[in-house]
Amino acid sequence: MYFQFIKFCLVVLFTIMLTSGIHNAYTFYYGSSCQDTDEEFKPRTAGSDEPIINQCNFNWVNFFTIANRRNETEYLERSDIYNFFTITTLLLVMQFLRKIQKQTAVECDERQLTASDFTSRIINLPRDFTDKQDIDDEIKKFFEKQGLPGTELNVQQVSVCYNVTGKLKIKQRLKQLKIDKLKLEHTKGADVKAKVVPIENEIKQLESDLRQENKKFAEGVGVNKDFEGEAYVTFETQQGS
């Protein structure tokens, strides 16, 4: 993409030079508004002390610019026409370059395949699973046998969507208890230890509950009430087989 960007820049520069750049540079070079002198002021007439300002010195900076023909209306109007033609041409060229860039992006995306290219989002799944059923496994079996009639699909992974509000509440409570414990440990008093012990016991209990929640979601058993009816199914290929 980087080298393509460089090529596009060269195309734009070439278009500008071809449509108006060469003409304008050639026309302005033969102008007469810039004087071939390095003096900023020069006398208006011989022997006069009243100076006039030389507004444009003819040098390597401005002898290709519009300043060299600033007093010649005919050439300036012709230059405006060429500039307008350049803008119109650039609009068309940019649309063409944009089309090429989109095609290149699609080709690059097809060459770099990831798991997301073979993953489908499945919604409105039934929620009548029992506590003894493995939701992930049941969905996998269904799509392998009945996902595409007449073809056995190769399902690599099933990611089920659950409502984890309860798990998040446990983590939030744990975070708050650890903060409270840290504050107590930095205070002085005879009853500090007595206050810390109940907090530590609750932390241990919540950590155990959190491990159970993680295990439950990982196994996919006993979480039918938390199932959201949505899953992401990853196949081995784009065709699914």
Q: What is the pLDDT of residues 70-82, one digit of tens each?
A: 777 777 788 888 8
Instruction: Report the distance separating Cα 190 and Cα 86, nearest Å.
Output: 86
Q: Would the pTM of this model clear 0.85, i.e. be above it?
A: no
Residues of the chain with pLDDT > 90, as a percent, come to: 19
Q: What is the pLDDT of residues 50-71, one digit of tens each?
A: 555 556 666 666 667 777 677 7
How many other C-beta atoms can be found within 10 angstroms of the C-beta atom of residue 106? Answer: 10
Q: Per residue in 166-176, is it b (16+ CB within 10 Å) or e — as a string?
A: ebeebeeebee
